[in-house]
Amino acid sequence: MTAEYQVHGDVAVITLANPPVNGLGLSTRQGIVDGLAKAEADAAVKAIVITGAGGAFSGGADIKEFGTDKSLQEPNLHSVINAVENAGKPVVAAIHSVCMGGGLELALGCHYRIAAPGCSVALPEVKLGILPGAGGTQRLPRVVGVEAALNMIVSGEPVKSEMIGAVPGQKLFDKMAASAESLAAEALAFAKSVADVRPLPLVRNLPCKHPEGDAYFQFARNMVKGMAKNFPAPAKCVDAVEAATKRKFADGLAFERELFINLMWTPESRALRHLFLAERAASKIPDVPSDTPKRDVQKVGVIGAGTMGGGISMNFLNAGIPVTILETKQEALDRGVATIRKNYEAQVKKGKLKQEKYEQRMALLSTTLSYDDLKDVDLVIEAVFEEMGVKEAVFKQLDAVAKPGAILASNTSTLDVDQIASFTKRPQDVVGMHFFSPANVMKLLEVVRGKATAKDVLATVMAIAKKIKKTAVVSGVCDGFIGNRMIERYSQQAGFLLDEGCTPQQVDKAIEKFGFAMGPFRMGDLAGNDIGWAIRKRRAVEQPDMKYSKTADLLCEMGRFGQKTGAGWYDYQAGKRDAIPSDVVNKMIEDHRKALGVTPRKVSDEEIVQRLVYALVNEGAKILEEGIASKSGDIDMVYLTGYGFPIHRGGPMHYASEVGLFNVVESMKRFAKNPLDDARAWTPAPLLAKLAAEGKAFQ
């Protein structure tokens, strides 16, 4: 049982004990009901307190139980809350730390609530694509008012208990405890003080009205429509709260339940729940236990003051960690520091950063031209030119000066981390830290594990990633790691689509309609088309039979590198980022088709999306079976946080499983027959073929 029962004098205390956050799984729900029954049966007990052990009152329904039989088994959360409401003795919720979702709904079912300051209170279900399904939309408006409740329910954002407690007239908390430490004693005393009160107060009996009902809810619907875009849940939250103001409590509750169940089955909710679990799972490395000792990182060195080096440095400065940037020339250092300043000043101007904070961050930054000044840093990240010879020189020098135990990281996006490690006498301390541009903004960090990388180095880097607010995903060593290796297949298809009859804008539009933040050609223009060009030239030597559309090379030969040269796949007006379809480029593509002897055909948006996305999926499956990624959720996290894959689709691997892997493979077989395509690229990865044949999904 994951709830404990104790009696203190004449008060029974039921303590939820289901780490890490006292999720209301079956065994905890059963524990509450059993505890209530015991307390009711014991004549010596006059009142009951429900609280949570450890760092939470409760984080809500157990997300890991969703979709399993356990979530359906009695007692469900409704039955638990009914049992609390119908108890013959007062039930007091003693709330601390985290009180969210079903946890808050449970508390709202209690007769009284006492809260410690500093507790995060929320109905965050909307972030999982659902709405509060155990009375939250009906009870919260009755205690904090309709508008405050709707804001909390639609945003899912936590509010601090002391803020709610300070609002005049609020009925969520009957009492605020002086501190988290005194909560237990204060809750017992409070329970004693209300032991004889009858009838017992119930939130469901409080009135729920909005003075300008229809107009207010119309306004709320319009607001939500603009914000929610691809997600149905926020609009349903408005419907449910409106029902609280217009229907009888029991009818409102039934309506909320119906909406909750319908939302639970939407692909958007499945995608968001997958994202929640995948994000947390990504931080765990199967063979690196969570209690692996970590190295102390107090000072960081960054080699290279270019765009990447500057962005990387800002992450650490933002987290209060001193950074020393090393360059070969003073001018390069000055330019780099000026860019960092400019970025911070822009944030100050927009009111996103206080002047004082900006100064504090800049005070943590130092610069040097000498490797000797890196001798006491704990972590050094190299962000120099992407060429093995340059990396070799850097790592040899680092090896010579860095203190024992310092972590030596490379920001390489494609090169072999094992080879880089071999330039040092301490390959166990070498790791890849692949940031994405702009490095101070993008959430993704690929942590590249070399064959010699020590476990404590990995554990340290994962912890540091959390500190600098990155989503870290571990990748093995291969060309392009997880993200760039897959994007190559996607770009290959984008190129073939041009050869076959599409324009760049048609391809971009189709995939942007699917939900990508940016299509492949707008993305190429933003990142710089010359980067892919350099990689293709290298590949041409390594893989001479590689098949791809030559339009990308022709574009670069025209000097159209993208936004930075004012022209790429699109035209750009000076100082603007709007992509304008280019006649010159369209003509280049047409001429190329003629040279190939291709008669252009009309390609449907559906085919465009399938080819681009399934190309990612097939490569993802290879990455998974080679062990480059340890879980399919890791691949999804890379694409959701680093490549603009639509959140409501849950990442390429999750999306493929939703479509059905059998269907994916059937489409791939069709694409393989296209003579203008690369049939080899469409040979299903053995893992994909196996799962498809077995009717299974990616795990």
Summarize as ranges the residues that interact with ligand 3H9 (CB under 6 A).
20-21, 23, 59-64, 77, 98, 100-102, 105, 124-125, 128, 132-134, 136, 280
Cβ–Cβ under 8 Å, residues 444 and 484: no
What is the nearest approach in angstroms of ligand 3H9 to the Cβ of residue 446?
A: 20
Q: Specify the residue, 77 or 394, whose C-beta has the smaller distance to ligand 3H9.
A: 77
> Token pair for residue 71?
């979530």
Specify the amino acid at residue 329.
K
Q: Name the closest residue to ligand 3H9 (Cβ).
A: 101
DSSP state of 51: E
Parallel, antiparallel, or unpaired: how do β-strands 175-176 and 112-115 relate?
parallel
Q: Which residues are catalytic?
A: 105, 125
What is the nearest approach in angstroms of ligand 3H9 to the Cβ of residue 100?
A: 5
Q: Specify the residue, 64 or 455, whose C-beta has the smaller distance to ligand 3H9.
A: 64
Pairwise CA distance, residues 20 & 23, whole Å: 8
SS3 616: helix
In sequence order, which residues have a C-beta less than 8 Å from that of residue 543 and are 6 or more positions away? none
> Token pair for residue 640?
């959701």
Specify the amino acid at residue 681.
A
Conformation bin of residue 668: beta by default, left when phi > 0, alpha when psi is -120 to 50: alpha
Q: Specify the residue, 124 or 651, whose C-beta has the smaller distance to ligand 3H9.
A: 124
Q: Can you list the alpha helix ranges (DSSP code H) found in 299-413? A: 307-318, 330-349, 355-363, 388-401
Task: Give how far Cα 640 sits from Cα of 305, 618, 654, 685, Å.
Answer: 28, 17, 11, 22
State the SS3 of 543-574: CCCCCCCCHHHHHHHCCCCEHHHCECCEECCC
Q: Specify the residue, 264 or 317, whose C-beta has the smaller distance to ligand 3H9.
A: 264
The radius of gyration of the chain's CA atoms, rounded to the nearest angstrom, is 29
What is the nearest approach in angstroms of ligand 3H9 to the Cβ of residue 53?
A: 14
* Crossing angle for the helix pair 330-349 and 355-363, to the nearest 10 degrees: 160
What is the nearest approach in angstroms of ligand 3H9 to the Cβ of residue 99?
A: 10
Task: Give how far Cα 322 sits from Cα of 146, 432, 465, 611, Å.
Answer: 46, 21, 16, 46
Q: Specify the residue, 277 or 346, whose C-beta has the smaller distance to ligand 3H9.
A: 277
Cβ burial of 443 (10 Å; 0-12, 13-18, 19+) is middle
What is the nearest approach in angstroms of ligand 3H9 to the Cβ of residue 105?
A: 6
Conformation bin of residue 143: beta by default, left when phi > 0, alpha when psi is -120 to 50: alpha
> Token pair for residue 229?
């875009």
Q: Specify the residue, 160 or 564, whose C-beta has the smaller distance to ligand 3H9.
A: 160
What is the nearest approach in angstroms of ligand 3H9 to the Cβ of residue 640?
A: 16
Angle at 277 between CA 274 and CA 278, to 5 degrees: 75
What is the nearest approach in angstroms of ligand 3H9 to the Cβ of residue 293?
A: 19
What is the nearest approach in angstroms of ligand 3H9 to the Cβ of residue 432?
A: 24
Q: Specify the residue, 127 or 489, whose C-beta has the smaller distance to ligand 3H9.
A: 127
Q: Specify the residue, 140 or 302, whose C-beta has the smaller distance to ligand 3H9.
A: 140
What is the nearest approach in angstroms of ligand 3H9 to the Cβ of residue 200?
A: 23
Q: Specify the residue, 19 or 405, whose C-beta has the smaller distance to ligand 3H9.
A: 19
Share of the chain residues as helix, strand and coil, in percent rounded to the nearest 5: 55, 10, 35
Pairwise CA distance, residues 455 & 477, whole Å: 16
Cβ–Cβ under 8 Å, residues 552 and 534: no
Cβ–Cβ under 8 Å, residues 652 and 636: yes
Buried b (16+ CB within 10 A) or exposed e, 14-48: bbbbbeebbbbbbebbbbbbbbbeebbeeeebbbb
